[in-house]
Amino acid sequence: MSESKAKTQKFIVKFFPEVMVKGSKAKRQMIDQLFGNIKTILGRISEDINYKKFFDKIEIVCPIDTVIEVRQRLLETPGIELLLEALQFDDVSTLDEMKEIVNKHTAKEIQNKTFVVRAKRTGEHEFKSTDMEQKIGGYMLANNPQSKGVDLRTAEVTINIELIHKQLNIITQKYKGLSGFPIGTQGDILSLMSGGFDSTIASYLTMKRGIKTHFVFFNLGGIAHEIGVKQVAYYLWNKFGSSHRVTFTSVPFEDVVTEIFNSTGESYMGVTLKRLMLMASEKIADKMGIDALLTGESVAQVSSQTLRNLALIDQVTNKLVLRPLSTMNKPEIMEMANQIGTKRFAESMPEYCGVISKNPITHGSFARMEKEALKFNYEVLNKAVEDSITINVDEIDADIDSIGEIEVVNDISNNEYTIIDIRQSEDCIETSCETIKIPFFKLKKEFEKLPQDKQYLFYCDKGILSQLHAQYLIDSKGYKNIKVYRPN
């Protein structure tokens, strides 16, 4: 290839600096892994992409019609520090050849601007890098009178060139990469995924660090909630981790929540729920041969995330528990979600973990926690783990669009409905219609006892719980007499 502008585009991948300071064996393994990851990811775009691996970079030459997609995929691949776009010229050996080529392709950039030439070279040559900079810079200065001249310190335009033996590369663009280690070099982790801001960012950060991140989801809100979380997991995998196959495990936790309400003191319900999630995750991780768990908890963000309560939670597992957001502020987390594209998912995702906490303890007692733990029937937890379903994340796209929309009713003046208030609180909404109280955690068993010749409207404060539980009953049981009530 003599010029990349015709039919192809050249990319140069520079490695994450922490890769380059590793020992020779570890560095070689990481570069090999990144090389394989890139070939896997870009291979889905085109078979006409060429790759070359060096000790300090990877070169990629792709068809011109794939440039945009290739560039985006590379910028989302962990392990890449810098991505350079370059024009490539072969069989260039003299300074005179170089100065004419560089001037021809970069002269427009220095019009009415100061500039400087920066050169790097590899191989045996009769000249140094500084000779290249001086010769090319002087030639461009003499042949471009409209430029403002050379400025070695604060130039408005920097012309970067590389000479590798007899191959000349003119760097036309520089992009900041994702950094981090290549996925597949740091082992596997199981992420407790709720679909909200925190768990998605925690998962992103471990993927960025090169950890193969699997997902476990504790279903408290029915099939609609599950599909919502699957969408987030698929998005993260497809964008940042598609070089490797990972799994998504869904654990039915509605009965576990019911058992918490039946057995646990209300101030310890939130901590108990988190403990049970870790216990279930440990069982699943054991089956998968995974040593570490991941959560999105941030110190003091909610009552269960004080240092004491986190210590109480971690008591139940022998696994390493990573919390990359532990010292991050919520605005920082939300801004990162906005940057990586998960904000739109998180904003519409209900956060169930806080739903069951009433007057939650902020500095729990180890002795009291031990007593509360003895009250719980762990057969319920074991059954939930046994009933869990695991699929590969790359298969999620087959079902994420299968969910339907629940009809929302605003006007109940005709009194043809029975309102079911599914809120956890003891108070019940007052309407002109017949109204009954069934907390959401009892709906699964109690709704089937109601007369099925009536039309029911589920009600909660924000409409999220009612939407999701209505969807669950419709999809799992086939009911056709459920809608959602949302007052104007």
Residues found in the chain: 488
User: Nearest-CA neighbor of 445 among 481, 469, 416?
Assistant: 469
CA angle at 412 for the pair 408 and 417, rounded to the nearest 5°: 85
**Which entry of 353, 428, 433, 460 is annotated as an active-site residue?**
460
User: Nearest-CA neighbor of 118 among 160, 174, 165?
Assistant: 160
CA distance 319 to 183: 21
Helices and strands per DSSP (H, E), number in the chain = 16, 19
193 annotated as belonging to a binding site for a ligand:
yes
According to DSSP, residue 267 is labeled G
User: Nearest-CA neighbor of 52 among 105, 9, 12?
Assistant: 12
User: Nearest-CA neighbor of 198 among 307, 313, 331?
Assistant: 331
Q: Which residues does 404 contact at the CB level (< 8 Å), separation at least 6?
A: 471, 474, 475
User: Nearest-CA neighbor of 477 among 435, 438, 454, 449?
Assistant: 449
CA distance 388 to 289: 17
305 annotated as belonging to a binding site for a ligand:
yes
Backbone phi, then psi, for 10, in 5-degree steps?
-105, 135
**Please, are residues 293 and 190 in contact by the beta-carbon 8 Å criterion?**
yes
Catalytic residue list contains 460 = yes
CA distance 253 to 382: 11
**Please, are residues 115 and 156 in contact by the beta-carbon 8 Å criterion?**
yes
Longest CA pairwise span in the chain (Å): 94
User: Nearest-CA neighbor of 121 among 110, 107, 136?
Assistant: 136
Helix (H, G, I), strand (E, B) or coil at 97: helix
274 annotated as belonging to a binding site for a ligand:
yes
Strands 157-164 and 167-179, sheet pairing: antiparallel
**Please, are residues 162 and 121 in contact by the beta-carbon 8 Å criterion?**
yes
According to DSSP, residue 14 is labeled E
List the beta bridge partners of residue 391: 248
230 annotated as belonging to a binding site for a ligand:
no
296 annotated as belonging to a binding site for a ligand:
yes
Helix (H, G, I), strand (E, B) or coil at 434: strand
305: left (phi over 0), alpha (psi -120 to 50) or beta: alpha
CA distance 90 to 436: 80
- The residues that are catalytic are 460
**Numbered residues of the known binding site for ATP:** 192-193, 274, 296, 305
**Numbered residues of the known binding site:** 192-193, 274, 296, 305
